[in-house]
Amino acid sequence: MEAYDKLIRWAGDQGIEVRGIEPRRIPGRGIGIVASKNLKANERLIHVPTASLRTLTTVRREIRDALPSPAPNNKGTPVHALLAAELFLETRPLTNKYAPWHAVVPTREDIFSSLPLAWPSSDYEKLHSLLPLKARVHLTKQKVKFEKDWQLIHDALLPALGLTPGKGKYTKREFLYAWLLVNTRTFYHETSKTERLSKDDKMALQPVADLLNHSDEGCEVAFDPASFTISANRDYRQGEEVYICYGPHSSDFLMVEYGFCPDENSHDEVCIDEVVLEELTKAQRQRLEEKDYLGEYMIDERNPGGCYKTRVALMMKCVRMQEWERLVNNGEDGGEEVQKMVDAVMVRVLKKYLRRCKEAIGELEDFGGTTGEMVLRRWRQIERLVERSIEELGAGNR
Ligand SMILES: C[S@@+](CC[C@H](N)C(=O)[O-])C[C@H]1O[C@@H](n2cnc3c(N)ncnc32)[C@H](O)[C@@H]1O
């Protein structure tokens, strides 16, 4: 019997209902879920009783007892670390209760070859420095989180269980595999045990539903204390891939958090803080900070001239300070004449950013190999977006 069939049969034994869909290998996306018959909008596809989820409460007692309990305001051990510790310490993953799930989740090679946090140490610094700003900042934060979690496992959990860190399978790399499995496969889920905790701690692993890939728009995901339900958001033809939306994320976020960079992403945006801030004097930056307009300067397909904050910041280059204060306080944009000047500054800023894109592309091409391919693809997307933005602004098409 195929591993997927075993998984579905096992899921049935756990009370997980799977209807009208089946797992399938999808080129470039690992495993995904496809419609096994024509589906109607609102049809219930997956129904998971809460008891079948892997949550804080299903983590083995000896693991929970060895670590500080999760607590509000991100105090205590993160639920992420506990779930990862549970997977990390499973002694016989291929024969235990969750074996059918282990048989289909991505392998170490799949995870390590796609997620930036697992880039080999020889490439990490270089590739990290070549990431677009938002991805770079996010990866830095993710690394801090992971290192803190590993410290807990290394210093508290393994010694409490009489295990030696670094020996046998109790290595940092092996914990990273478990940590990234959790990172890429958990759903937001709140129970009475987690309601006081921060949003990041409200997570659960859901066998089967975790095979759904991401798209901008996807199936409805809902939960209540008893269960989790996923329903079709529209009609599907038999054989069509069925998605959920992991959230309205930019491609920089998806790349770091999930290890892929989609070709199309209606939620995508690019941060151009580096080049906007270079245009401004120290005093101007200080005033923007006081007004809460410092940083987060974004462009996207719909806003080639930049988001509202970008326009407000660049307007400082176009009008006197007193006039800028008046316009900002009244929520005015200064009219066509001022906006044309802002466009002109924006074109200059974007041209500077385009040079940065091209430099990054050149360095990534020289870097070669497969590790940097996703980042290279991302910069090429950004390059196209910036070129189109310059064209639109230059042609006065806004
Ligand atoms: C929740 S799992 C989905 C199932 C997964 N494809 C598998 O093989 O087990 C999330 C992972 O699936 C992959 N993925 C999800 N959506 C994708 C997409 N639109 N394009 C490429 N990969 C995707 C990424 O590797 C991501 O980390």
pLDDT at 316 over 60: yes
Supply the mean pLDDT for the chain.
95
Q: How far is the CA of 337 from the centre of ligand 1 (A)?
A: 47
pLDDT per residue as tens digits for the range 276-311: 999 999 999 999 999 999 999 999 999 999 999 999
Q: How far is the CA of 112 from the centre of ligand 1 (A)?
A: 14
Q: How far is the CA of 241 from the centre of ligand 1 (A)?
A: 12
- The pLDDT of residue 370 is 86
State if pTM tops 0.90.
yes
C-alpha separations of 298 from 44, 159, 272, 303, 389 in Å = 38, 47, 6, 8, 12
Q: In the numeric block, which tokens belong to residue 274?
A: 């580096």
- The pLDDT of residue 397 is 55
Sheet containing 31-35, strands listed edge to edge, beginning at the edge strand earlier in sequence: 21-25, 31-35, 241-244, 213-214
- The answer to whether the CB of 227 falls within 8 A of the CB of 49 is yes
Give the mean pLDDT of 348-352: 97
Residue nearest to atom 24 of ligand 1 (CA): 258
Q: How far is the CA of 226 from the centre of ligand 1 (A)?
A: 27
Residue nearest to atom 19 of ligand 1 (CA): 214
Ligand 1, pocket-test mutation among 214, 250, 254, most atoms within 8 A of CB: 214
Give the mean pLDDT of 321-336: 96
- The answer to whether the CB of 23 falls within 8 A of the CB of 33 is yes
Q: Which atom of ligand 1 is nearest to the CA of 31?
A: 8
Measure the CA dihedral 203/208/212/218, to 10°.
-80
Q: How far is the CA of 225 from the centre of ligand 1 (A)?
A: 27
Give the Cα separation of 300 and 217 in Å (integer): 18
Give the Cα separation of 107 and 126 in Å (integer): 25
pLDDT per residue as tens digits for the range 10-35: 999 999 999 999 999 999 999 999 99
Q: How far is the CA of 329 from the centre of ligand 1 (A)?
A: 45
Residue nearest to atom 22 of ligand 1 (CA): 29
pLDDT per residue as tens digits for the range 168-196: 999 999 999 999 999 999 999 998 888 99
Residue in 214, 229, 227 with CA at minimum distance from that of residue 45: 229
Which secondary structure element, helix H or strand E, spans residue 85, and what is its range? helix 79-89
- The pLDDT of residue 74 is 85
Q: Which atom of ligand 1 is nearest to the CA of 105?
A: 9
Q: How far is the CA of 301 from the centre of ligand 1 (A)?
A: 25
Residues with CB under 6 A from ligand 1: 28-32, 105-106, 114, 184-185, 210-214, 258-260, 262
pLDDT at 95 over 80: no
Of all residues in the chain, what percent carry a pLDDT higher than 90?
91
Ligand 1, pocket-test mutation among 210, 258, 267, most atoms within 8 A of CB: 258
Q: How far is the CA of 302 from the centre of ligand 1 (A)?
A: 27
pLDDT per residue as tens digits for the range 209-262: 999 999 999 999 999 889 999 999 999 999 999 999 999 999 999 999 999 999
- The answer to whether the CB of 83 falls within 8 A of the CB of 70 is no
